Structure 1
């Protein structure tokens, strides 16, 4: 192997041994299911409200409600100035759950891979085949893996006049805990866009949105 190829091969080998950075996963996808009868309304004033039984009406809930309101306006609805007088009501609920992404390896010993310079002889400016390059790589595979966060958004649109449901949908996505995709603001926007985008969608069919 030539000196040039040798110099290139070692960094490439090291990169192959290094673990992925936290959160370095494929872009999360969203599973979407919608239900409706006929051709539901595509315009009119709408007020976004908490769905009865929703467990969280905190600031985080308002993040999801705001994302839903923005997406409804994109498809033709108008935010109601007086919520009590709106043509429609969009009821919103969300949930977040956590599950381990793998076995707990906190009792395992770290696995280390070490490399030192000066392999072989001659040729290098500093006395080694790899030019005296000193390499030390520590790969820590111990510790508990980050949980997987599953976030679900549920939206139901009802006519205010008679409380009849005209459209309903659910969307869910998964991301590793601590990643950008798992943050409430990011998850809310992604779920709302996937669920309401393409409204009303095919009733009763579950699709995957990237």
Structure 2
């Protein structure tokens, strides 16, 4: 029995290190949310899919992920004309290199889109030896408004990045991760940016 334990112990330690390495390689999600500091009572909600391009298969990954999180929070899916709330979903996916070329002034950490002002924050990395893989930046933006009054009561942005060949760069995985981080501890602290592992 002792021999088996001695053989098993290095395997268990190696597995623990491998798992820790995998967890460390998954980038965190930066999340910023804004709301009116009032209680948001769950009700019926419709996801607005009227914008151009939102019927694509990739975009459906994001709307499904947002819908799942809203249901987890107690919201009930409904038709857009009969819901208490309407959720608008926006998605951005681009490489870090392309974002840096498009707006060289905003290279650095931070920034935002839409009502957060400015542009998408990006970072700069250096690699030696061969052509580096592009880093893909994903951003999910969700806005919730009351259907009757049309006033926005909550909005949030979640952003992460991954190397283009990494599992985390797959649209389905990125969508689920961004939506889960965005709605973590809903509604969250207004105006605060947090990092969700």
TM above 0.5:
yes
- Structure 2 portions without partners, runs of 5+: 1-21, 98-124
Corresponding residue for residue 86 of structure 2: 89
More strand by share: 1
Contact 1:75-1:197 at 8 Å conserved across structures: no
- Give the whole-Å Cα distance in 2 for the aligned partners of 1:51 and 1:25: 38
Task: Work out whether residues 37 and 190 of structure 2, in 8 Å CA contact, stay in contact via their aligned partners in 1.
Answer: no
Shift of 1:24: 9.5
* Distance in 2 of aligned mates of 1:181 and 1:205: 25
CA deviation vs aligned residue, 1:90-142 (integer Å, no higher than 9, x gap): 10000011035545x6xxxxxxxxxxxxxxxxxxxxxxxxxxxxxxxxxxx4x
Higher helix proportion (structure 1 or 2): 2
Q: TM-score, normalised by structure 1?
A: 0.65
Matched residue, 2:46: 47
CA apart distance, 1:25 = 6.4
Give the Cα separation in 1 of the matches to 2:90 and 2:31: 15
Specify the alignment match of 1:26 in structure 2: 25
1:75-114 → structure 2 map (5 Å cutoff): 75-80=73-78, 82-100=79-97, 102=126
| Residue 56 of structure 1: how far off its partner (Å) | 5.0
Which structure would you say has the larger Rg? 1
Q: Name 1:130's counterpart in structure 2.
A: none
Alignment coverage as a number of residue pairs = 149
- Which of 122, 134, 141 does residue 147 from structure 1 map onto? 134
Matched-pair contact (CA < 8 Å) for 1:35–1:167: yes
Q: Equivalents in 2 of 1:93, 1:171: separation in Å? A: 11
Matches within 5 A, 1:1-210: 26-50=25-49, 52=51, 56-80=54-78, 82-100=79-97, 102=126, 141=129, 143-210=130-197
SS at match of 1:84: coil
CA distance in 2, matches of 1:192, 1:28: 15
Displacement over 4 Å in runs of 4+: none
Contact 1:40–1:166 (Cα < 8 Å) also in 2: no
Q: Give TM-score, length-normalised by structure 2.
A: 0.70
In structure 1, the gaps of 5 or more residues are: 1-22, 106-140
Q: CA deviation at 1:62?
A: 1.1
Note the aligned Cα RMSD (angstroms): 2.1
